[in-house]
């Protein structure tokens, strides 16, 4: 069964922290683009909503996924991690057959 991506509470909380620090609540856009070392790569940016975006919302924070990227992110989990190597938003994607050490590139 294909489900839309899910966003963790930790990712929404980090978006709220960014909004508080910048004084502006901007949605997080998670997209899939061609390229990267494995064929596809994630693009994660703060962006404005566009027509036909899937909007995932909690506590006033929003995550956007465009219709082209949506099939690539089916059943994925969008999270935030803070590790020794750095803090970043990450995508746990069950559709990815392999990934790259950079953490943003994958193949299907």
**Domains recognised in the chain with CATH numbers:** 6-107 (2.60.300.12)
pLDDT at 83: 83
pLDDT beyond 60 at 91? yes
Range with the lowest mean pLDDT among 4-8, 21-25, 51-55, 84-88?
84-88
Q: Is the dihedral of CA 37, 70, 31, 21 positive or negative?
A: negative
pLDDT beyond 70 at 38? no
pLDDT at 37: 58
Cβ partners under 8 Å of residue 26, min gap 6: 18, 19, 46, 47, 48
Q: What's the CA dihedral at 19, 10, 68, 97 to 10 degrees?
A: 150
Beta strand extents in 39-85 (DSSP E only): 39-46, 54-58, 61-65, 77-83
Q: Is the dihedral of CA 84, 89, 94, 95 positive or negative?
A: negative
pLDDT at 106: 46
pTM of this prediction exceeds 0.95 = no
């Amino acid at each position: 069964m294909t489900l839309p991506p899910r966003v963790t509470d930790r990712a929404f909380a980090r978006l709220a922290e960014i909004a508080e620090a910048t004084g502006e609540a901007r949605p997080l856009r998670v997209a899939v683009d061609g390229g990267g070392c494995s064929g596809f790569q994630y693009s994660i940016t703060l962006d404005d909503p566009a027509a036909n975006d899937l909007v995932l919302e909690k506590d006033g924070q929003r995550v956007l996924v465009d219709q082209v990227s949506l099939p690539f992110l089916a059943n994925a989990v969008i999270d935030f991690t803070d590790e020794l190597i750095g803090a970043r938003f990450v995508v746990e994607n069950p559709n990815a057959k392999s990934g790259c050490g950079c953490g943003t590139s994958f193949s299907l």
